Chains A and B, each alone.
Chain A
C-alpha cells in the first residue's frame, strides 16, 4: 500500500536559522510530489512541485527552496528563516499510474513550523 511520511511534526526555529523538512513516499514509483504551506486559518498555497528526480517547479518566489534527491524523497529547505515562514507545511503526492484518471493527491500529516 502507498504511504507518505513527513517529519518533524513540529519545529520551533529562531529567525535566521536553516530549515530542512523531509517527505518520503512508499509504495509507488515516480510520483509527482508537492509542498504546500497553510497559514493559520487559511487555504493551501502550492510552493513547489516535482514531476521527477531533480525536477523542481516553483510556484511563488520566496525564501524557501526544494530538492528531490531520490525518486520518493522531497525536501523543503531554507538557508535563513524569516518570521513570515511560520506556518503548517504539507507534503503531498500524486501516484500517477492507476490514479491518473482522477488526479488524486494524498497528503502527509504536516509539519507545524514556528519561527521565533
Chain B
C-alpha cells in the first residue's frame, strides 16, 4: 500500500516568509509525528498527534512553528517568518493504533528539504 507522503520534496524560501509543509500519513494510522533533521544531526522531535487527543507540542522550538491535523489524517506544519536556522529536512512519520501489529513502529515519509536563504 501507499506509504507516508510529504510535499513539497524541496522548498527554498527567503528569510521572513511563511512556509507550509504537508504530510499524508498511511491510511488508518492514528498517530502522526513531525521531526526535523539538520545536516549531520540527529532527529529532533517537534510535535505528535494521537487520535483525537490534544497534540504533544513540547518539541516545537518557537511560537513561529505550528501544526494541525485535519480530520485525523493530513497534517500541515507551518513555519512563520522563517529564519536561516530553520533550514533542515522536515520528516513526518505515522504509526498504527495501539494494540495493532507494528503499533510501536514509526513509518517515515521522504521528508521536505527546507532551505531558507
Q: Do chains A and B stick together as partners? A: no
A interface residue numbers (CB < 8 A to B): none
